Chains A and B, each alone.
Chain A
Amino acid sequence: MTKAGPTAAAPPPSAPHPSAPTATVRLPRRRGVELSLIVLAVLLSVYGYCAVGLAKHGTVPPGAAGYGAGLGVLALLAHTAVRLRAPYADPLLLPIGVLLNGLGLVLIYRLDLETPGEEAAPAQLVWSTLGVALFTLVVLVLRDYRWLQRYSYVSVVAALALLTLPILFPPLNGARIWIRVGGFSIQPGEFAKVLLAVFFAAYLAANRGALTYTGGRRWWPRLPPGRVLGPVVAIWLLSVGVLVLERDLGTSLLFFGLFVVMLYVATGRTGWIAVGLMLAAAGAVAVGWLEPHVHSRVAEWLHPFASIEAGQGPGQVAQSLFSFAAGGVLGRGLGLGHSILVGFAAKSDFILATAGEELGLAGLSAVFLLYALLVERGYRAGLALRDPFGRLLAVGLASIVALQVFVIAGGVTGLIPLTGMAMPFLAQGGSSVVTNWMIVALLIRVSHVARRQYDGKVAP
């Protein structure tokens, strides 16, 4: 895109740049496109908010204007920051973030109406505000993403600290992934994802050569020397540790998947994938054997209606499947579904069931495509960049989104065993929404560099 874009957008002959020779091209910054898309995203969210109110009470909810204004101000704040400090950034990243976050707020507000006294949308709006504030801060302050490379070991230490912190706190709903400070629950594992992506990118960029040229035969790679293998095994142990100590299958899967993808991109050795898959399989079998928690998840995936046949009523996965089925192709319409039957975690892990029931296959596909577009933009930035750290960072951040969407969406639709995880931007969960804004902020920075490097250069 970055190569095709500037050549395609040749300057109009009537208004040549005063200082540019005719052989160079000005790269369009596309900030106007971004602004239009943001306006569209805000309007769509407000429309959804009004649709919920109209369906449930027959009136436009009183907070509609405030909600629209709030979301609009946040989006404009972020947009201004991008305009000031990352003018070449990819124009799709921010609008997608705004739209997904806005839609998430609509869905949570919609579910709040079914659970009076347990409103989650106001808190989610606060967290979204914090997320956008941090996004703005990152875009403004982090002038050059390469600066992160110097702090890779700080990152990994911080990530490990964040991951081990919840072990000190009592478990909540069977998983030790929360820490509670005051009235707030924080999931530090969410932040650790970004830090780990930074560390992986830095580590792999530095050790790419060693990892690529060790090993041997084509089909069955000889094991690399311990010096290189050590960190890989360490990451594997970390994933299993997270799983066993915190009972968090999803995060464990995500870390390991992220590492394998980045390792492959850095080295191009399919052997690494083989080793990774074998380790993952061994870990999964061992843990599935030992952990009743994981074992039951797999059983529920294989036989989602077993509890119905046993006369105990539908389980969560069954309820989730019923929700998606009730949506059909066009959905029941916002506010008109019964996804609240999913019960516990309807607003967080199972938020997609509400989207599926009320927006249907059509709406759900649109949501999936928004995520796909976000990932694709990350990968494109990675392709356009020249430094290995930037490329790996962009691919890593985009892969976090891709893997996370797949793991949770696949889980609630019965494609793979369910693992507790937040749907990026949509699901209730402060730590998650803040983390996702951080990911978008970093992608904005990376894509800014990726596109700027072609600006003013001689057209090929």
Chain B
Amino acid sequence: MTRYIQHAAAFCVLLLVALLVNTAWLQVLQAPSYGVNPANRRPTIARYEQPRGDILVGGRAVTGSRDTGEQLRYERIYTDGPLYAPVTGFASQRYGTAFLEHSEDELLSGTDPMLAGFPLWNGFTRVQSPGGDVVTTLNPAAQRAAFDGLGTRKGAVVAIEPTTGRILALVSTPSYDPAELSGNGPAVAAAWARLNDDPEKPMLNRAVRQTYPPGSTFKVITAAAALDAGVVRDLDARTDSPDPYRLPGSTARLVNEGEGCRDASLRFAFEWSCNTVFAKLGVDVGAAGMEAAARSFGFDDPTLRIPFSVVPSTFDAPEDRAQRALSSIGQYNTRATPLQMAMVAAAVANGGQVRSPYLVERTTRSGGSTVSAAGSRPARQVMRPTTAVRLRELMTDVVEEGTGRNAAIPDATVGGKTGTAQHGIGNQGTPYAWFISWAQGDDDMDPRVAVAVVVEDASARRGDISGGGTAAPIAKAVMEAVLHSPRAG
């Protein structure tokens, strides 16, 4: 019987070996593919197992995490959801992420390998790094001024620091509370459906994801192109332009809102926004010159990231001179994001240099040590410095005695340009009110802020919408907020 017991024992050893081999195969060789199986909830659980890193504005976190005690444990909360929604975006357990929550997701969720002190060791111990924080460039007072200034109207505001490209305010209204989308329950699904079906499109980031016809604010670029090209050499010389202006090669006639544009000087035409003068300037500069000028300001650049992507603004200078004339006054196919127009104002303020705009000052580990810092962005000279000086003069005139008087600030030099853009079939839509400006306090060495404001307001009467009346006061409030803030850095 001894032999048979030994045989039975051998059989048991066989069973043991089968178990061990199968388990090793499962836990070592199959593990990677099972780990990424979409039906495996572990990656999702791990993602929400720890509090998400925060997004900071002015040294204060505008985000947080709530411990739900559920399987997907931590849920995103926002201190001022609608105010910062165009910057933070949302971090939803159900619908993914958007904007900063999306571009900085690896850092915020703690999966960025840069967060680990010793990546190899952490890979071995499988300790998850706590989420890092994102410090933004926003100025909370400017953001608030812009948000309150727009109020219940539809529109967007972007403010940037001309010397650095730091984005100080980025607002889009109507906004929404991203906290509504944080969880994964039926309420979140309902909120998602409601926000997507809303005709006001509250989740549309009008500051960077919507282009508008820039209207007269585009005249800054046309003026810069004309000055750089030598088409205009003297701001006060007559420009030899008729009023009304018959668009070349067509019978259409372009007129002005105001008087005195016939043969006006560039200074007068800029101050009073003469369409006829700038349309002719655009034709005189030529297609290549206009396109080069617009491109250098940042038009038609699909690569811009702040760090989330910005839809390219478009400028199309056709060989057809009539169309080019309209393009040059910010109509026809010319479209720009509010961010793009803020860059235009910043270029004028900053001696003709554009710095690539950015939102993230630096990223830190949860302990506070820096992971990465924005550093200095390369500057791009978009016009001659002398041209910039002359454009500053023109823009200052607009605020001191032209269409932008609503933006004047005591103890500060302010330059601006109004715009009222026609749109819709036959220009029947309510026009968009634009105002772009920059400000430099009397005690400041450099310009402190450049702003672009656009207001699209279907409820206002057509006649009441104008850059100077509707948009300039908002720009003024934002500029004041920046000028009254202590200088950063």
Which chain A residues have a beta carbon within 8 Å of chain B's beta carbons?
A: 261, 264-268, 305, 308, 313-314, 318, 321-322, 324-329, 332, 338, 341, 356, 360-361, 364-365, 368, 372, 375-376, 379, 382-383, 388, 391, 395, 398-399, 402-403, 405-406, 409-410, 413-415
Beta-carbon contact of B27 and A327 below 8 Å: yes
Contact: B37 with A356, CB < 8 Å?
A: no
Q: How far apart sit A265 and B7, CA to CA, in the bound complex (Å)? A: 8
* CB <8 Å contact, B35 and A326: yes
Closest B-chain residue to A341, C-beta based?
B41
Given contacts A361-B28, A413-B22, 17 further A-B contacts (CB under 8 A): A265-B7, A308-B38, A321-B26, A321-B34, A324-B26, A327-B31, A356-B27, A360-B27, A361-B27, A364-B23, A365-B20, A368-B20, A375-B12, A379-B8, A391-B1, A406-B16, A409-B23
Complex CA distance for A364 and B24, rounded to whole angstroms: 10
**Can you report 5 residue pairs joining A to B where beta carbons are below 8 Å apart?**
A305-B37, A326-B31, A356-B27, A391-B5, A395-B8
- Asked, given contacts A308-B37, A325-B27, A325-B35, whether A415 binds B18 with beta carbons under 8 Å apart, the answer is yes
Pick the contact of B23 from A314, A356, A391 — CB < 8 Å? Answer: A356
A356 / chain B contacts, CB cutoff of 8 Å:
23, 27
Provide the residues of chain B in CB contact with A388, threshold 8 Å.
1
A305: contacting residue among B6, B9, B24, B39, CB under 8 A: B39
Given contacts A264-B7, A375-B12, contact A364 B27 (CB under 8 A): yes
B7 nearest CB neighbor, chain A only? A264
**Which of the residues A308, A368, A406 comes within 8 Å of B39, measured between beta carbons?**
A308
Inter-subunit contact A413/B30 (CB<8 Å)? no
Q: Kindly list chain A residues whose C-beta atoms are within 8 Å of the C-beta of B41.
A: 338, 341
Give Cα distance in the complex from A52 to B482, angstroms: 53
Q: What is the size category of the interface that chain B forms with chain A?
A: 35 or more
B15 at the interface (CB under 8 A from A): yes
Contact indicator per residue, chain B 41-81, by CB within 8 Å of chain A (1) or not (0):
11001000000000000000000000000000000000000
Compute how far the CA of A268 lies from the CA of B22 in the bound complex, rounded to whole angstroms.
30
Contact B3 A268 (CB under 8 A): yes
Q: Does B11 contact A (CB under 8 A)?
A: yes
A314-B39, A341-B41, A410-B18 in contact; A324/B27 too (CB < 8 A)?
Answer: yes
CA distance A413 to B31 in the complex (A): 12
Interface positions of B from 314 to 355, Cβ below 8 Å from A? none
A327 to B40, CA, bound (A): 13
**Is residue B461 contacting chain A, with contact meaning CB distance below 8 A?**
no
Q: Is the CB of B42 within 8 A of A383?
A: no
Is B126 in contact with chain A by the CB < 8 A criterion? yes
A364-B27, A410-B22, A415-B19 known; A338 vs B4 contact (CB < 8 Å): no
* Alpha-carbon distance between A402 and B10 when the two chains are bound, in angstroms: 12
What secondary structure prevails in chain B residues at the interface with A?
A: helix
Q: Is B2 in contact with chain A by the CB < 8 A criterion? A: yes
Nearest B-chain residue to A270, judged by Cβ: B7
Of the candidates A308, A403, A413, which one forms a contact with B26 in the assembled complex, judged by CB atoms under 8 Å apart?
A: A413
- Distance from A403 Cβ to chain B, minimum over Cβ atoms (Å): 8
The residue on B at minimum CB distance from A403 is B15
- Known interface pairs A308-B39, A329-B28, A332-B126. Does A264 touch B19 (Cβ–Cβ under 8 Å)? no
| Complex: chain A residue closest to B32, CB-CB | A325
Q: Specify which chain B residues have a CB less than 8 angstroms from the CB of A361 in the assembled complex.
A: 23-24, 27-28
Inter-chain contact B39/A329, CB cutoff 8 Å: no
Cβ contact within 8 Å between B19 and A413:
yes
Chain A residues within an 8 Å CB radius of B22: 410, 413-415
Nearest-neighbour CB distance to chain B for A377, whole angstroms, equals 11
Contact B37 A322 (CB under 8 A): yes
Contact A399 B39, beta carbon cutoff 8 Å: no
* Whole-angstrom distance between the Cβ of B279 and the nearest chain A Cβ: 60
**B23 to A: closest C-beta gap in Å:** 6
Are the CB atoms of A264 and B28 closer together than 8 Å? no
Counting chain A CB atoms within 10 Å of each CB, the highest count among B9, B30, B37 belongs to B9
Q: Which residues of A contact B23 (CB under 8 A)?
A: 324, 356, 361, 364-365, 368, 409, 413
A270 to chain B, nearest CB (A): 9
In the complex, residue of chain B having the shortest beta-carbon distance to the beta carbon of A208? B1
Nearest-neighbor residue (CB-CB) of B46 within chain A? A338
Q: Decide: B45 and A338 in contact? CB cutoff 8 A.
A: yes
Name the interface residues of B285-328: CB closer than 8 Å to any CB of A: none
Q: Which 10 A-B pairs have the closest CB atoms?
A: A325-B34, A325-B31, A308-B39, A361-B27, A406-B15, A314-B39, A415-B22, A402-B12, A268-B4, A265-B4
- Please tell me if the beta carbons of A326 and B5 are within 8 angstroms of each other in the complex: no
Knowing A329-B28, A360-B27, say if A409 contacts B19 (CB, 8 Å).
yes
> How many whole Å from B133's CB to the nearest CB in chain A?
23
User: In whole angstroms, how far apart are the Cα atoms of A368 and B16 in the complex?
Assistant: 7
Minimal beta-carbon separation of B214 from chain A (angstroms): 49
- Complexed CA–CA distance, A267 and B8 (Å): 12
In the bound complex, CA of A90 to CA of B42 (Å): 44
- A346 → B minimal CB distance (Å): 14
Of A327, A338, A356, chain B has the most CB atoms within 10 Å of the CB of: A338
Which one of A261, A324, A338, A414 contacts B8 once the chains associate, using CB atoms below 8 Å? A261
